[in-house]
A and B are shown apart, each in its own frame.
Chain A
């Protein structure tokens, strides 16, 4: 028993290492002169300096923030509406709503990508960051709505009844009681929507115009400008750091929710 426990821990540790291995490699390479094995001139901040001097890279970061920001905003607002409607009200077609909602989760991105591409070009819309946002909202809505629906299901409705008994009307109750209590759920679904947009390559490949988002910038640089690949490792390391911050914020919010 004791022996099998040890080997189990060993396998577990190995698998965890497998998960982090590529990111650790990127981090190490970003401080190296080349992207090849014998470390040369390690550590150097050369690539970080080049990264901050590259206007395309900086532009891509700004673009990604715009796209993910707008996507998050729309997806969360629609998620609150959808979650509330699904749990608290009855409406015509409510039986179809969950089915419709999971559609983007069960259709490969490439299909939505080519569909939107050919449709948008057909009706005369030019590809730009806006078309990327349109696509990202579509794929973010299911996640934001599902996480918020789960929160509405777990919401203690007697708190609202208490507010109404004390004379608050429905709208005030929603604004002063429901919304603040839902805040952790809203933040979590916002981070989720942000990440979905932030890390997407597949949809953006089809919908992006001339302004790249970060993943598209990495994709095209890899394919066309091998010379700039070391700069990508520096960019990646910063993105990993950002992801860790996001993950910890999400964790902190979840903890807060459990305390409630």
Chain B
């Protein structure tokens, strides 16, 4: 391949006015505008539109009806409330577990720290879908747990808790996410100056006090990165509930999916999407303000 023209072009670009940098990020900018900004703007427009049932052309604009659907339907509100609670629940459990593991790796293991973290991330590499498939077979009325219990003769009827329900969704999402959250927490724990911990102990603090007053506050940036990583996707989750959620595990994402893929009620679906977007962006904004770009970069 003849690189000469390319080489000449690259060398001749003036550095000072920043044209070179702009050219380098232009494709990324273009990609984001075309596949992110415009589609989301389109959703915004749709959410205020009344669509023709057959042609799906916009027949009235703007209308507020689509937004009223959520507020006026108790069942939908209940599902939204459940989704937010579940997302918070999953965040607490998975960040908590990840914290315990990160703490153990930082302070109790001296060698192969990164290797251990790496090993723990392998399940996530293998695909979220596999974890769902496994739990689908483990749980359920005729699943492994229930058939095992019945095999032992402990009960004659399957136990409801190990069926497909909201509890299963919580369990499975926690199982999926915590291995992925160890690294950001570990990074900020590892950075803590050990002499601070010694100073705290020398001044008479118990190890619990040292943890609460020194270690934990200093590790917060990593915790915030971890919360961001789990909270946002969980708010929009719809695959896990549809596989292991049963009826009680239905989430807000499932409503949106149905509006778009089954009911073809795009405008109502768009309004629901905007509600979800608002919640996710608010959460992300509050967290990102305390994290910053640099820490996010280190957490990967």
CB-CB under 8 A for A37 and B144, given A12-B100, A100-B32, A201-B239: yes
Q: Is the CB of B127 within 8 A of A239?
A: yes
Q: Tell yes or no: A240 within 8 A of B by CB.
A: yes
B15 contact set on A, CB distance < 8 A: 89
Q: Tell yes or no: B40 within 8 A of A by CB.
A: yes
Q: Is the CB of A102 within 8 A of B43?
A: no
| Residues in A207-232 with C-beta less than 8 Å from chain B | 214-215, 218-219, 222-223, 229, 232
Instruction: Please list the 8 inter-chain residue pairs (A to B) with the smallest Cβ-Cβ separation, ordered nearest first.
Output: A108-B236, A89-B21, A91-B21, A22-B134, A115-B39, A106-B284, A199-B127, A243-B126
Q: Tell yes or no: A179 within 8 A of B by CB.
A: no
Tell me the dominant secondary structure on chain B's binding face. Answer: helix
Q: Tell yes or no: A84 within 8 A of B by CB.
A: yes
CB-CB under 8 A for A150 and B298, given A23-B123, A81-B24: yes
Q: Is the CB of B293 within 8 A of A22?
A: no
CB-CB under 8 A for A23 and B134, given A85-B25, A105-B232: yes
Q: Tell yes or no: A90 within 8 A of B by CB.
A: yes
Distance A119 CA – B97 CA, assembled complex (angstroms): 40
Please name 16 further chain A to chain B contacts, defined as beta carbons within 8 Å, in addition to the given A91-B19, A111-B280, sorted by A numbering. Answer: A22-B138, A37-B147, A91-B18, A92-B18, A94-B21, A97-B25, A102-B293, A103-B32, A106-B288, A115-B42, A118-B46, A138-B32, A169-B7, A174-B10, A222-B133, A250-B118
Q: Tell yes or no: B114 within 8 A of A by CB.
A: yes
Q: Tell yes or no: A184 within 8 A of B by CB.
A: no
A86 contact set on B, CB distance < 8 A: 25
Name the CB-closest residue of A to B19.
A91
Distance A179 CA – B123 CA, assembled complex (angstroms): 31
Interface residues of B (CB under 8 A from A): 3, 6-7, 10-11, 15, 18-22, 24-25, 27-29, 31-32, 35-36, 38-40, 42-43, 46, 97, 100-101, 104, 108, 114-115, 118-131, 133-138, 142, 144, 147-148, 151, 175, 178-179, 228, 232-233, 235-239, 242-243, 253, 256-257, 260-261, 266, 269-270, 273, 276-277, 280-281, 284, 288, 293, 296-298, 300
B101 contact set on A, CB distance < 8 A: 12, 15-16
Q: Which of B133, B134, B232 contacts A106 (CB 8 A)?
A: B232
Q: Which of B27, B130, B147 contacts A240 (CB 8 A)?
A: B130
Q: Tell yes or no: A149 within 8 A of B by CB.
A: yes
Q: Is the CB of B36 within 8 A of A171?
A: no
Q: How many A residues face the partner with a CB closer than 8 A?
A: 101
CB distance from B83 to the nearest CB of A (A): 11
B115 contact set on A, CB distance < 8 A: 251
Q: Is the CB of B238 within 8 A of A141?
A: no
Distance A35 CA – B300 CA, assembled complex (angstroms): 36
B31 contact set on A, CB distance < 8 A: 78, 137-138, 141
Q: Is the CB of B127 within 8 A of A202?
A: no
A82 contact set on B, CB distance < 8 A: 24-25, 28
Q: Which of A170, A202, A218, A232 contacts B238 (CB 8 A)?
A: A202
Q: Tell yes or no: A195 within 8 A of B by CB.
A: yes
B114 contact set on A, CB distance < 8 A: 251, 254
CB-CB under 8 A for A218 and B133, given A92-B18, A239-B126, A254-B114: yes
Q: Is the CB of B253 within 8 A of A110?
A: yes
